[in-house]
Every structure is written in C-alpha cells, then in structure tokens.
Chain A
Amino acid sequence: MKKTGAEIFLESLIKEGVDTIFGYPGGVVLPIYDALYKSPLRHILVRHEQGAVHMADGYARATGRPGVVLVTSGPGATNTVTGIATAYMDSVPVVVFTGQVPTTLIGNDAFQEADIVGITRPCTKHNFLVKDINDLTRIIKEAFYIATTGRPGPVLVDLPKDVLSAEAEFAYPEGVNIPGYQPTYKGHAGQITRAMELILTSKRPVIYAGGGVVSSNAAVELTQLARKLDIPVTTTLMGLGGFPGTDPLFMGMLGMHGTYAANMAVTNTDCLIAVGARFDDRVAGNIDEFAPYAKIIHIDIDPTSISKNVAVDIPIVGDVKSVLREFLKLPRAATGLKAFKKGVTDWHGQISEWRRTHTLTVKQDMKGRIKPQYVIERIYKITGGDAVISTEVGQNQMWTSQFFRFASPRTLLTSGGLGTMGYGFPAAIGAQVAFPDKTVIDIAGDGSIQMNIQEMATAVQEKLPVKVAILNNRFLGMVRQWQEFFYDKRYSYTCIGNRPDFVKLAEAYGAVGLRATKPSEVDGVIKKALKVKDRPVLMDFVVDAAENVYPMVPSGQPLSKMLLV
C-alpha cells in the first residue's frame, strides 16, 4: 500500500525509536501535522522554534538518545539556527526536520522560503534536502545514523511540501552505505601501549576529561582507570558528571573559572591525559603556556580535535569508551604499577595542599543579602545532588559548575561551546519530558531566563514540574563582572533593573512563582518548589548583585595567573 511522504516520515521516526517530537506547525508541514493527528508519537508544542531545538537538545543530553525537532519553512527554520549551533558546538545528537516550499518553487523567493540547508551548513554535522520521495527513508536513516555515531552532532533534513504529499511504498532501509563516513572507534593498539608506558613513567599525571566522556557513556571506565592508577582528575564544563564530583581524586573544573587546584595541577603536570576534550580557549587560557611541562596524550573520536590547538605527543583517535577499556586491560600486564603509585605520592600531597589553601567556599552572612553561590549550595544539599540541572550562560553557569557536585553523567545540561543564553530553561523542559519523575532544575540568571521565557507556556500546557531558580542580581552579571575588572567599572548597558516581577510572571502563565529575599527564606522556597509536581515553578532569588565568579583567569593569560578572592 502506498503512503504519503508525511506518513512515511512519521513511520520512519517510529522505526528509529523516536517517541517525542518537539515542534511548531506551519504552512508547508501541514501534511505532517495532519498525519500526526492520528499518530502515537508525542508532540510537544513549543512557543518558539529555538525552544524546540533546545528542548530536543536537553532531551538528548539527558537520555543519550537523539532529540527530534519538526518546524515549518522560512522563519520556522531560521529560528532553529541558534539551537542547532548550540548542539553542534557541544556535539549533541539532534535531528531537525524543516518544511520547505515545494521543489517547483525553490529558488523563487516563495512565501516563507529560506535556504535553510545553505544557512545551516556550517553549524550542522550534515544536512539534506529531500528532492524525491524515493530518497526520503534513506535520508532519514542516514540523518539519524550520522547524528548519533562518531562524534555526535545535529543533522538537518529539509522536506519540501510536494515530497510530503507525494506517495510511495514504505520500506525502511536496514542499514546505511555512506562511503565518506566511517568513524574510527577502536584506538591504535601501539599508541595505547605507548601512552600507558608514558603514564607509568610520569611523576605528576593529570587526567583532563571533557564532554566526550559523557557522550561516549564512558564515565564508568574513566572512574575505574583513575582509581586504578590513582591519577587526579579535572574536567571541563562539558565533562562535569563524567567523573564523580565527590570522589577524592576529583579536583574540580579547570580553565577560566576552574579551581585553583585543577589549574595548578594542569600547569605543573608532566603527563596530561586528555580524554574526549578539545583544549578550547576557555579551558587552556594562553595556549602557549598551557601545561608547559607535560607530555600530552589525547584520546578523541574526532581527528580534527587532535593537534588543533595544542601539539600532542601521543594522539589516539577512537571512541573514548572503547579506548579506555583497552587502557584498563593494560596495567595488569604492565610492570611498575606499584612503583608508579609510590612515585606519585608527593604529587598527591602537593594537590591536597593546593586544595586546602584554596577551597571554593560560600560565605553567607545570614543577616545579609543572599549570596548566589549559597542558593546553589542549598539546592545541592536539599536535593542531595539527585537532580538534572541545566544552566543558562554566565555567572549562574559558572557558580553551578563550582558548587553543584555532579555525581553522574547526563545530569548537567549546559551550553558550553556556543554559550547560548536562553538554553537552560527549554533544555530543562526537554529533560523533564524524558524523565517526568526526576527533579529537573534550571539555574538561571534574570537576564538569560528572559531569552526563552515563552516556553513557560509549553511547560504549563504539558504539566511539567520543571523548576527554575533565578539568581536575580538585576544585572547581566558576567558581562558586568568583566566591566568591573577590565573596563574600569563602566557598566555599559548591563543593568537590567526594570525586570518583570517574576512571581507575577509565573502566575500569569499558570505556573507557581516563589520569592526569597533573605538567606533564611532560601531553604523554604526550594523545599516548597520541590513539592510541586503538576506545573512549573519559578523561584526568584533576589541575590547580592556585587558577587563575582572566582577564581578567574583573565582572557589570554596562563592558567596559573588566577585572580583569587
């Protein structure tokens, strides 16, 4: 029996194991929406297409399964671009389906036409325009395959309206045949042995783990290896949760707002083991002075990440999980593990000393203003760390990375690469859709939350108990901090004092709004919010506007040049 392109599209999604679509209807995707009317697929109706992509992204990061987006042509498609670029920079598997004007009208400046394949070429892993209904299932299969394998990333598929209305037999392909795409999963055995030998002759080793550990589901292997060899671990922002934040070997995050211990350890290490990380400028500071004494081992599935920013001594291209498993097999055979462990005792002593002298602490005067860090610390304590946390971008994001100890992977959703304000709230919604019973909290600033606040309506409509904790300092705090440090306190356009009343705003949407203005009210607000199970809660924490994020490595400086409190 023949089916329409729209029906084939939905059947294909089911074949791919998709259960939820984040979308927004429009003219050219009407055939799909009509077929969706009687489909078992769940469709979350967003209020802005950017929100749909961030939701799918949050869903994907929290579950490890691809997030799916469906939007219309023209403005529907262009509104997805920030979401796609966000997913691209952080290697998140998202498949975005955009409607397109009929093939006969493409290039005619038709109503709601945009060359979205052209627009998203540099910010997708790959993208497709389906010109013939007979290519539809193959392209959908390839889109999901490309998005989820190798280094994951967003894929966009553009669907002209006439393709959606045309008819064909439905036959979903079993596999894919893409000659130009064969990711390397297995690491080179010789390189792995060489790397292990290097580690065992080092005296001051450090593991530097990134988002690749999370996306390759290798947290267990990384933890085993670090514990087996007794090597201290630091992670990037994207790597948080990839190693238990409570483990004695964990030094915290490194980089611009990394801990003193992590930055000093990386500066002084003689053997840096980079695992699924890419030496980004926020991590490395001044690249020429990054890990100056270290031999560097770099494990990454993406060959372009290797020796892009930093010259590497032992590159290993492969899937982090698979490579770490090979590493785990080696120490048994390798002699000198005992001697190695003995040799690194001084190094552990040094790290403990750095830790002891520069601990991240919250100094909350219970009679003073609420410290933003205190709010995060209380959220951590009250939830017992058992929550999926998303953040926006800026001070809220950095304080979260410092004061919430992520115990397991896929519990932190944050826009690390692109740094997208407005990401956290829809991402939290996406995670809550995937895990209706989990506690999901977006830690936000009063600036960022206003960038996608319209999704409150989505959360209310879907009865999602997602929580938002606004660290309300009446400023675009991180930019204000830079103005304070580097622009002689000229606070040019960073004061957003005439904000809305967030409690009333929440109530206007049909959500719960709560406010704390004194430190003594913080616990009560958090506990009250956690009790709400049938609608979103917006918590407005009116915090001290003068707080800054420390430590801070000024842009372009080496990691050892930290500004400390």
Chain B
Amino acid sequence: MRHTISVLVTNEFGVLSRIAGLFSGRGFNIESLCVAETSDELVSRMTIVTSGDDRIIEQITKQLNKLINVIKVHDLTGEEYINRELALIKVNSTAETRAEILGIVDIFRAKVVDVSPRTYTVEITGDEEKIRAITELLKPFGVKEIAKTGRIAMARSLKVK
C-alpha cells in the first residue's frame, strides 16, 4: 500500500543523502520525495511517498526516526491530509487547437504560464489524479515536455469524520 510520510529534518548538508541512502541500502522504495525549508530555517520538511506492507512501512518510519538528523516522522496515510503536486506541461498548440486547450486549462483551473507560436506551457497544481487527468486530455494535442514535482502533504487541522 502507498503511504505518504512527512518527515521533519535538520536543514543541513548531507541529510538528503542519509535519507536516500537509508531507502536504497535497505531496499525500500521511494516513489517521490520533495524537500524544502520550513518556516524555521533550521528545519526542512521532506514528503516521501513510498509503498510496502505494514511491516515494511513500520520499518521505514522506525529507521527514519533512528537517523540523528530526523526530528519527527509522521505517516499521514489513514488520516485526513491535503496533498498537492505541481506540473508544468508544454503542449503543442496551433490556431485550431488553442481555444480547446484553453478550455481544458480553464476547467482544471490551471494556468498558461508561457506561450510561443507553437506551444503553450500549462501550470497545474492538484492531487495526482487531477494532474493525470489533465495530462491525458492534453496528450492528443502533442505533449512535448512534462516537469512534475513529487507530492507535498500536510495533515488537516480540523478532523471531520
């Protein structure tokens, strides 16, 4: 099963390679990893998407906790959390297709952030499903390039069941 794990780490050199090394050395799988500074410049947040059975996920969280640079590990899976990814999609556009592409962009509440005579570059944020959906819809026009972030996530404060 897939898990989204949010990890607070000290913001210093070498920490990313400790985390990456832990996953590769123990044969755990990383589907995506995002890292950036938090509001505290001494602390970074890593959002790791990984998969495995309960035993493996338990080992992953314990092994992460064991690293000296790891301050807090929070497996968000199974609780309410917000998750987002961002993608930049460069798609072919012609006089005939421009309106249709803009229509799709509008429906998805995406944005066109760069224009050239033959292309549009679309910026979209959302969960994985939404990004996959717009990508599929843009494909027929000819997608030239895609750049995607991994997932970032945060637990919801108000938990409504």
Contact = CB atoms under 8 A, between A and B. Distances in A.
Interface residues of A, number: 19
A180 B73 CA distance: 10
Interface string B47-65: 0000000010011001101
Contacts of B17: 118, 121
B66 A303 contact: yes
A319 interface: no
B21 A308 contact: no
B14 A117 contact: yes
Contacts of A307: 55, 58
Contacts of B21: 121-122
Interface in A175-207: 178-181
B59 A146 contact: no
A303 B70 CA distance: 15
A304 interface: yes
Contacts of B71: 179-180
Interface string A151-186: 000000000000000000000000000111100000
B10 A180 contact: yes
Contact of B25 (A122, A125, A178, A302): A122
A259 B147 CA distance: 60
Interface in B1-24: 9-10, 14, 17-18, 21
Among B9, B62, B67, B70, find the residue whose CB has the most chain A CB atoms closer than 10 A: B62
B59 A304 contact: yes
Given A122-B25, A179-B71, A180-B10, A304 B66 contact: yes
A303 B68 contact: no
Contacts of B70: 180
Q: Is the interface of B mostly helix, strand, loop or mixed?
A: helix
A400 B70 CA distance: 41
B135 interface: no
Nearest to A128: B14
B69 interface: yes
Contacts of A178: 68
A302 B66 contact: yes
A126 interface: yes
Contacts of A306: 62
Interface string B17-49: 110010001000000000000000000000000
Contacts of A126: 68
B62 A180 contact: no
A122 B65 CA distance: 15
A121 B22 CA distance: 9
Interface in B83-135: none
Contact of A180 (B55, B58, B59, B69): B69
Contacts of B55: 307, 311
Contacts of A146: 68
Most buried by A among B10, B18, B62, B68: B68
Interface string A266-303: 00000000000000000000000000000000000011
B65 A303 contact: yes
A69 to B, nearest CB: 20
Contacts of A129: 14
Contact of B68 (A181, A302, A304, A311): A181
A307 B10 CA distance: 28
Contacts of A303: 62, 65-66
A308 B18 contact: no
A118 B21 CA distance: 10
A180 B68 CA distance: 5
Nearest to A122: B25
A311 B59 CA distance: 12
B18 A121 contact: yes
Nearest to B13: A129
A146 B65 CA distance: 14
A179 B55 CA distance: 26
Given A118-B17, A179-B71, A302-B66, A308 B59 contact: yes
Nearest to B63: A304
Contacts of A180: 9-10, 67-71
Contacts of B9: 180
A178 B62 CA distance: 18
Contacts of A118: 14, 17
Contacts of B25: 122
B26 to A, nearest CB: 9
Interface in A100-144: 117-118, 121-122, 125-126, 129
A117 B69 CA distance: 15
Nearest to B62: A304
A501 to B, nearest CB: 43
17 contacts: A117-B14, A121-B14, A121-B17, A121-B21, A126-B68, A129-B14, A146-B68, A178-B68, A179-B71, A180-B68, A180-B69, A180-B70, A181-B68, A303-B62, A303-B65, A304-B66, A311-B55
Interface of A: 117-118, 121-122, 125-126, 129, 146, 178-181, 302-304, 306-308, 311
Given A121-B17, A303-B66, 13 more contacts: A118-B17, A125-B68, A126-B68, A129-B14, A146-B68, A179-B10, A179-B71, A180-B69, A180-B70, A180-B71, A181-B68, A304-B62, A306-B62
Q: Which 9 A-B pairs have the closest CB atoms?
A: A304-B62, A126-B68, A180-B71, A303-B62, A181-B68, A122-B25, A180-B70, A179-B71, A304-B63
